[in-house]
């Protein structure tokens, strides 16, 4: 959710609260004659409106009764409902006309109505309004006086009580929405609460609001949208239903289409009514108003029926949610709300019955109590769910700070009420006081107020001690960090001090510090307190959504209620770390975050806690930047020395390679470049080049499986040498003296592939003029290599599966069974698992082929072999083109190193061959390489990077001899077993001691990058002296 939507909803919630307060004030101050009329009645005569009286109506004789027809109200002739509203509005705040002030003890009934104006006032302030009406039955026109009154105390008290209860729930939902705007359930609950506020506070006194479109319109809009919003909330609470997940737009359209249409219609009516109430009445306009009111009355009754349908669907959804939910907390929340819904069914049905079939009773207020009970049942259910069962995760919202302010305001209200009550004491006595008595009472009141204020201060002090007794630790924590700034200590030590301060002040069970470089893809663990480092992830991904939330300045808190499969990326990171909060420190060159666990009291983090984290983060950032700058300065000399020595080493390695290449071309110009390379155990590698750990692992697997008869599947990207590897397997197997037959399955149509594999008999199909032997039969006793096996049709897969299982087949069009003894090797560059899911590759066939799987790595993952492969292809191409090429220039080799090689080894071979053909010198330069390699090299330094130089001796492709320590460490790093921590520590210390404490030289002895060597020293806690 964006910030604009968030502020819009909060503004609507605040507007609903202000509207409710304004309604209460408006109702309390509004005049009420305690008579009512229908919006549209079939008993209306056109020049009068039938009315219904309330029990507390006060009338002079003759007394007006229900069913009588009002012809004139005050100075307003009555022909429709709107005229009644106009007449009541005229009474509010009207000045008494001349002759309207009555004498002491005189009432308006004592004089002739013709002698008095339409509004009179008694000496005690009571006002009376003249009403002209015709009696029911007789039709006799009479004049009477109605006393202008206000709403009753209990009516106003009931509205005020409901308002305060709803205001508390709305406040809690607003705070929940403020802290968790991404939570759709909380958002909908907040919307439902402020719609309820506007709908019910206006619905209790809708008659009094009807005379003002400004007050009626918000009430009508809230009442229209409330049923749909309530149903929407229970469709997503406690988690979205299947229908809403599968077709969200359709469901939302069905939910809100009718309310939107109804709201447009009601707004049109209020706009017209506002104009009508200010206009001069004419006969034509009266006819129009009667027609409009008739349609309005019909529309209200229809929509009330639709609202009843929404309510029924809501109760049904509640029952379904209660039955299907497995979470005990959610089940308890749903139980209370379900009971409220079931209880509300009876009063709501009664109110709907009155609205449809007894409208006189409805407008007389008979539905007020039932609707009050129905809404009160839901409010109490929400209150119990919030307080007892943590509805909308209220424990994460009602923080210590909020509790403190609530206790403080509660104390203030109580004592303010006590003080105010002292001023009202005199109102209960109907006698006059002497001056002495007034002074005595005033003195006693002052003493009482002083005592009350002193007692309030004592209670306030107790509240302060209860909520802030641990804040004395804040100063100590900040002083500790200030001292750290003045000392250039290590990052880990500084981070541990900061985390220890967090634990002391915030009382959390664990704290961790993660850091990420500006362009890093992961956050790395730097320090941890209160938990073993092994129990925390050493790193976690820097998800873009997470970074966006952190950069917006939001502190991320965990939503414990959310299910794992429904988690957002941010909540997923919090779950992975076992954290309750992630707080970002002020940005520098790195992005650093503090990860905090649960507080000891299980409360949520407060605004004061976040303020403390911000202050601590400012100091920590300064200290970290100072420490980083010091470490960078101390390492610059080592880096410069390392670079100079590295350049010298590279120069020597290139010179050696150029000399050896020259010797090879002069002495072995006629040598076949496909000479087989044998290891000590006579394992024939043929043209498979490379001694990187990944290739050594592949070749080790090939050596083991070559002697077996198992089916082998070779997988890898295009151009990695899958067919060459298959030949190595064949050449080292017991079938080496038998043929190896190769079939490219992708180059043949399915019908031709079947004939190619199994052969066919004469006349088997058009064009089959003679018998043809298949590839399986041709490879009998040897090896059959099926390349691009992933492109074979499902029908052919079935027949191949039979051959693998039974080692026999029938040629196409034949009936003779041919038995074969063939070892099958397959290769593919496709994702067979995905093809299986798509139904394009049989799963049983896959498992038959994948008895032994060999994965050939792409060239970009074995860059250590780049030099050896480049020299081998150079020798081959130079011999083929009869050229004397002695070496590859440094900038050219740099371009080869930096290229991504999507075409792998085949692309490298083609690039070298192209360069050999195009060069006119004895060396391959950057200009001889393809354009795509040259473009990438223009912005990078032209240096040759070699991890280990490779010898070019005639029959040996082993690396040049490494120093003893480097050999030891290389063996450990390439081992598939995790290295023993003590042995690695010993190697690191021995290298540091042999280099007399020079870390750069020690890193070279071990054949590893300097940064890697530094990180391993930190990992084992080895100082610069090797201790």
Beta strands in 13-161 (DSSP E): 35-36, 49-50, 52-53, 69-73, 76-77, 119-121, 127-134, 141-148
Asked if CATH classification 3.40.47.10 holds for the domain at 647-673+861-937, the reply, yes or no, is no
Average pLDDT of the residues in 235-257: 84
Average pLDDT of the residues in 468-483: 57
Beta strands 712-715 and 852-855: pairing type? parallel
User: What radius of gyration, in Å, describes the C-alpha atoms of the chain?
Assistant: 45
Q: Which fold has domain 489-633?
A: Beta-Lactamase (3.30.450)
Contacts of 76 (CB under 8 A, 6+ apart): 83, 86, 87, 90
The reported pLDDT for the residue numbered 965 is: 46
Q: How far apart are the first and last CA of the chain?
A: 54
What residues does 819 pair with on adjacent strands? Answer: 808
Output the six-digit token pair for 977. Answer: 């077993």
Beta strands in 773-867 (DSSP E): 783-787, 808-809, 818-819, 823-828, 852-855
Distance, in Å, from the CA atom of 593 to the CA atom of 179, rounded to the nearest integer, reads 19
Output the six-digit token pair for 101. Answer: 């002030």
The reported pLDDT for the residue numbered 993 is: 80
Least confident of 11-20, 292-301, 642-651, 690-699: 642-651
Output the six-digit token pair for 949. Answer: 């130089």
Could you tell me if 992 and 1002 are in contact, meaning their C-beta atoms sit under 8 angstroms apart? yes
Contacts of 233 (CB under 8 A, 6+ apart): 185, 188, 189, 191, 192
Average pLDDT of the residues in 490-509: 80
884 C-beta neighbours (distance < 10 Å), count: 10
The reported pLDDT for the residue numbered 842 is: 92
Contacts of 812 (CB under 8 A, 6+ apart): 754, 755, 758, 759, 760, 761, 764, 765, 768
Phi/psi of residue 774, nearest 5 degrees? -85, 170
Could you tell me if 623 and 485 are in contact, meaning their C-beta atoms sit under 8 angstroms apart? yes
Q: Compute the mean pLDDT over every residue in the chain, rounded to the nearest whole number.
A: 78
Does residue 317 come out as left (phi exceeding 0), alpha (psi in the -120 to 50 range) or beta? alpha
Average pLDDT of the residues in 430-452: 68
The reported pLDDT for the residue numbered 954 is: 35
Could you tell me if 849 and 828 are in contact, meaning their C-beta atoms sit under 8 angstroms apart? no
Q: What is the CATH number of domain 964-1020?
A: 1.10.10
Q: What is the DSSP letter of 101?
A: B
Share of the chain above pLDDT 70, in %: 78
Nearest to 883 by CA among 669, 660, 671, 673: 669
Report which listed range, 233-242, 589-598, 853-862, is most confident.
Answer: 853-862
Task: CATH number for 3-16+154-398: choose from 1.20.120, 1.20.1070, 2.60.40, 3.30.300.
Answer: 1.20.1070
Give pLDDT tens digits for 578-615: 888 888 877 655 678 888 888 876 777 777 777 778 87
Q: What is the DSSP letter of 398?
A: S
Q: Which fold has domain 693-859?
A: Rossmann fold (3.40.50)
DSSP string across 607-626: HHHHHHHHHHHHHHHHHHHH
Output the six-digit token pair for 71. Answer: 């012809």
Distance, in Å, from the CA atom of 470 to the CA atom of 485, rounded to the nearest integer, reads 25
């Amino acid at each position: 959710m964006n910030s604009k939507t968030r502020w819009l909803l909060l503004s609507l919630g605040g507007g609903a609260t202000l509207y409710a307060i304004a309604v209460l004030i408006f109702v309390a101050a509004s005049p009420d004659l305690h008579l009512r009329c229908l919006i549209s009645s079939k008993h209306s005569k056109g020049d009068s409106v039938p009315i219904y009286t309330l029990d507390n109506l006060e009338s002079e004789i003759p007394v007006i009764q229900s069913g009588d027809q009002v012809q004139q109200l005050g100075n307003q002739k009555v022909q429709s409902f709107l005229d009644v509203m106009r007449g009541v509005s005229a009474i509010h705040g009207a000045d008494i006309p001349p002759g309207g002030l009555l004498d002491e003890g005189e009432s308006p009934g004592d004089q002739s109505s013709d002698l008095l104006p339409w509004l009179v006032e008694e000496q005690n302030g009571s006002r009376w309004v003249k009403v002209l009406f015709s009696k029911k039955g007789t039709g006799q026109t009479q004049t009477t006086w109605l006393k202008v009154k206000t709403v009753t105390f209990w009516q106003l008290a009931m509205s005020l009580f409901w308002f305060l209860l709803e205001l508390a729930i709305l406040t809690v939902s607003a705070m929940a929405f403020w802290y968790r705007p991404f939570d759709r359930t909380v958002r909908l609950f907040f919307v439902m609460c402020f719609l309820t506020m506007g709908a019910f506070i206006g619905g209790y006194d809708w008659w009094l609001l009807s005379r003002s479109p400004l007050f009626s319109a918000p009430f009508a809009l809230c009442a229209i949208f409330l049923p749909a919003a309530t149903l929407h909330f229970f469709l997503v609470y406690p988690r979205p239903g299947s229908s809403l997940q599968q077709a969200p737009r359709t469901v939302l359209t069905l939910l809100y289409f009718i309310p939107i249409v109804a709201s447009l219609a009601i707004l049109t009516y209020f706009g017209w009514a506002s104009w009508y109430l200010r206009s001069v009445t004419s006969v034509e306009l009266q006819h129009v108003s009667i027609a409009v009111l008739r349609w309005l009355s019909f529309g209200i009754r229809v929509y009330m029926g639709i609202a009843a349908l929404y309510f029924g669907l809501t109760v049904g959804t509640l029952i379904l949610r209660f039955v299907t939910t497995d979470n005990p907390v959610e089940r308890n929340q749903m139980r209370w709300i379900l009971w409220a819904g079931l209880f509300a069914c009876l009063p709501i049905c009664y109110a709907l019955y009155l609205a449809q079939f007894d409208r006189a009773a409805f407008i007389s207020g008979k539905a007020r109590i039932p609707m009050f009970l129905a809404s009160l049942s839901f409010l109490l259910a929400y209150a119990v769910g919030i307080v007892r069962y943590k509805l909308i995760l209220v424990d994460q919202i009602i923080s210590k700070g909020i509790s403190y302010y609530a206790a403080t305001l509660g104390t203030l209200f109580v004592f303010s009420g006590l003080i105010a009550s002292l001023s009202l004491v005199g109102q209960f006595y109907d006698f006059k006081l002497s001056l002495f008595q007034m002074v005595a009472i005033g003195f006693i009141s002052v003493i009482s107020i002083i005592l009350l204020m002193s007692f309030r201060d004592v209670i306030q002090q107790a509240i302060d001690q209860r909520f802030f007794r641990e804040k004395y630790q804040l100063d100590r924590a900040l002083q500790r960090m200030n001292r750290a700034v003045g000392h250039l200590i290590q990052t880990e030590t500084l981070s541990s001090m900061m985390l220890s301060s967090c634990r002391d002040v915030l009382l959390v069970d664990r704290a961790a510090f993660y850091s990420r470089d500006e362009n890093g893809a992961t956050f790395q663990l730097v320090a941890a307190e209160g938990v073993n480092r092994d129990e925390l992830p050493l790193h976690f991904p820097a998800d873009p959504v997470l970074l966006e939330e952190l950069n917006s300045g939001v502190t991320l808190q965990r939503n414990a209620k959310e299910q794992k499969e429904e988690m957002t990326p941010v909540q997923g990171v919090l779950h992975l770390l076992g954290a309750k909060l992630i707080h970002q420190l002020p940005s520098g060159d790195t992005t650093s975050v503090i990860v905090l666990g649960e507080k000891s009291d299980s409360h949520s983090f407060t605004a004061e806690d976040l303020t403390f984290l911000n202050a601590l983060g400012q100091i920590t950032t300064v200290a970290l930047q100072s420490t980083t700058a010091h470490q960078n300065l101390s390492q610059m000399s080592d880096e410069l020395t390392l670079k100079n020595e590295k350049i010298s080493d590279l120069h020597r390695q290139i010179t050696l390679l150029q000399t050896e290449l020259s010797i090879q071309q002069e002495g072995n110009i006629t040598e076949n470049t496909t000479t087989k390379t044998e290891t000590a155990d006579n394992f024939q590698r043929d043209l498979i080049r490379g001694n990187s750990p990944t290739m050594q692992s592949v070749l080790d697997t090939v050596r083991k499986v070559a002697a077996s008869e198992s089916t082998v599947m070779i997988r890898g990207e295009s151009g990695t040498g899958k067919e060459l590897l298959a030949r190595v397997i064949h050449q080292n197997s017991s079938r080496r003296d038998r043929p190896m037959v190769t079939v490219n399955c992708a180059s043949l149509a399915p019908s031709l592939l079947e004939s190619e594999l199994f052969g066919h008999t004469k006349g088997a199909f058009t064009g089959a003029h003679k018998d043809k032997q298949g590839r399986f039969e041709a490879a009998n006793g040897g090896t059959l290599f099926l390349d691009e096996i992933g492109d074979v049709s499902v029908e052919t897969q079935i027949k191949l599966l039979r051959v693998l299982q039974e080692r026999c087949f029938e040629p196409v069009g034949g009936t003779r069974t041919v038995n074969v003894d063939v070892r099958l090797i397959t290769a593919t560059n496709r994702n067979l698992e995905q093809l299986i899911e798509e139904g394009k590759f049989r799963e049983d066939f896959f498992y038959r082929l994948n008895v032994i799987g060999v994965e050939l790595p792409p060239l970009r993952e074995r860059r250590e072999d780049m030099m050896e492969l480049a020299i081998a292809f150079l020798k081959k191409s130079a011999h083929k083109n009869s050229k004397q090429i002695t070496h590859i220039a440094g900038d050219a080799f740099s371009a080869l190193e930096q290229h991504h090689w999507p075409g792998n080894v085949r692309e490298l071979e083609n690039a070298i061959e192209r360069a050999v053909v195009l060069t006119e010198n004895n060396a391959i330069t950057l200009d001889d390489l393809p354009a795509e390699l040259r473009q990438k090299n223009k912005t990078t330094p032209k240096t040759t990077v070699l991890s280990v130089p490779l010898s070019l001796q005639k029959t040996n492709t082993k690396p040049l001899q490494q120093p003893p320590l480097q050999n030891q460490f290389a063996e450990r790093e390439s081992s598939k077993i995790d290295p023993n921590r003590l042995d690695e520590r010993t190697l690191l210390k021995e290298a540091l001691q042999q280099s007399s404490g020079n870390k750069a030289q020690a890193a070279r002895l071990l054949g590893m990058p300097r940064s890697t060597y530094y990180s391993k020293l930190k990992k084992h806690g080895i100082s610069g002296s090797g201790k």
